[in-house]
Amino acid sequence: MTHGRRVGSASRVLTAERIAITMLVLCGGAVLCKIVVAIVVLPDYAEAALGAAVGIGSGLQTRSKALLQISGLTFPVSLALAFMGMGMWYATVIRALTKLNIRGFSLQPGWVWGWIYLLFQLLFPLPTLEATKSLWRGSRVVNSHDPSADYRDLSAPPSIEVWWTLFNGGLWLSVYRGSLWNSVLPEFELSDLGQPLHRLSLIALADPGGIALILAAAAAIWHVRAISAPLVEVGV
């Protein structure tokens, strides 16, 4: 293997890492903004919902509608960018490990088109999880500087499974966020919603998907850096 060679910092893996992390930060920020907007408009939302239930009221205020529309648009856009950034990173790391002739490594970059870019992993997440573990093991071989090492003999940390559980669980919970709000909101008195702590407790109950996605983005950044570091060191 050639992974004992050191080159400067201008590696393709480093570029892909930076792009992926940037997209993940944007996605996590968009989710956080969505939660903040929900906290801000919650009293208005509750009042409009209760008014509609008894046949009075004029619905959400214009400001609340605008905030919800903006946050509702930025989230899917940032999520799509995160998928693209992560897809580029996966493909780049796979090419790098293939170039370094890691013993036992058999993933191909074309896999990314199906499981990342086409979003199949949302329905079938296990192949992506196993591929991520493969990238971790391959990067550990590079880090060991042992030409005889076989990546299949190494294990991946449980944190990868936690990361993907948070990510996929957060996405699916976000899909059902509306029904969660409708089930939780009636349990709160309208007067209580003016208190920040009551708003935060409602958000925690009604938007667990958003919280899970923020944690997943943070976990993804850590793993991207950890997997990329040995490859950046050798300049691939």
Interval 50-95: pLDDT, tens: 554 444 555 556 666 677 677 778 888 888 899 889 989 999 999 9
Tell me the per-residue pLDDT of 85-144, one tens digit each, with 9 for 90 and over.
998 999 999 999 888 888 878 888 887 777 666 666 667 777 888 889 989 998 988 887
pLDDT, mean of residues 3-13: 55
C-beta of residue 59 within 8 angstroms of C-beta of residue 41? no
Question: What's the pLDDT band for 177 if we cut at 50, 70, 90?
Answer: low
Strand, helix or coil for residue 67:
helix
Q: What percent of the chain shows pLDDT beyond 90? A: 22
| Range with the largest mean pLDDT of 3-12, 47-56, 72-81, 178-187 | 72-81
pLDDT of residue 19: 95
Does 13 or 204 have the greater pLDDT score? 13
Q: Which two tokens stand for residue 42?
A: 């919650």
User: Of 215, 220, 212, nearest to 85 (Cα)?
Assistant: 220
CA 52 centroid distance within chain: 36
Over residues 23-42, mean pLDDT: 83
Q: What residues form DSSP beta bridges with 103?
A: 150
Mean pLDDT of 216-229: 94
Q: Output the six-digit token pair for 47.
A: 């009042």
**pLDDT at residue 235 is higher than 60:** yes
pLDDT of residue 21: 96
Q: Supply the pLDDT for residue 217.
A: 93
| CA-based R_g, the chain, Å | 22
CA angle 231, 168, 205 (to 5 degrees): 130
The predicted model scores a pTM of 0.76
Task: Return the ∠ at Cα 49 (arms to 76 and 52), rounded to 5°.
Answer: 125
pLDDT at position 53: 46
Q: What is the mean pLDDT of the chain?
A: 76
How many C-beta neighbours within 10 Å does residue 5 have?
11
Helix axes 12-53, 196-206, angle to 10 degrees: 110
Query: Looking at 30-151, which runs of residues are DSSP E strands?
Result: none
Amino acid at the residue 151: Y
pLDDT of residue 24: 94
Question: Phi, psi (5° rounding) for residue 103?
Answer: -60, 125
